[in-house]
């Protein structure tokens, strides 16, 4: 798996990402990783694709997944998350959370439909 939080320019010099790109990269890594894929951290991953394929009820929150998101972010990232809400609506998994990074609070809405992970940062 490629580390999306580390990038280089044409001459292979490290390039520092903006906070929003860094947050998007971390969200992509955590939500798209299936637990067990990383041999060094076998519990890492939120497997959003697998979560979409489980039975769920429209317009209801998933408290268990909310707690798992908080646990994964605190264990594997330097991002502090709060106010996590996970809801299924119109065949889409919608996740809202606040992220604190670099003395700035970011409000994030991310969702997964049948084919892609979308991330909106405010």
Q: Taking each helix axis as running N to C, give the angle between helix 19-32 and helix 63-76, from 0 to 180 degrees, rounded to the nearest 10.
A: 120
Residue 107: helix, strand or coil by DSSP? strand
The backbone torsions φ and ψ at residue 5, rounded to the nearest 5 degrees and listed phi first, read -85, -5
**Which class is domain 7-121?**
alpha beta
pTM value is: 0.83
pLDDT 10s digits, 2-53? 455 566 667 777 666 788 888 998 999 999 999 998 888 999 999 998 888 8
């Amino acid at each position: 798996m490629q580390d999306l939080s580390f990038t280089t320019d044409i001459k292979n010099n490290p390039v520092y990402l903006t906070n929003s790109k860094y947050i998007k990269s971390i969200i992509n890594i955590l939500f798209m990783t299936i637990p067990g894929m990383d041999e060094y951290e076998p519990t890492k991953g939120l497997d959003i694709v697998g979560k979409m394929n489980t039975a769920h009820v429209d317009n209801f929150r998933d408290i268990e997944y909310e707690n798992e998101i908080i646990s994964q972010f605190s264990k594997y990232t330097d991002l502090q998350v709060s106010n996590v809400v996970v809801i299924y609506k119109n065949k889409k998994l919608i996740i809202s959370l606040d992220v604190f990074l670099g003395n700035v609070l970011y409000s994030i809405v991310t969702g997964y439909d049948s084919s892609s992970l979308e991330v909106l940062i405010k």
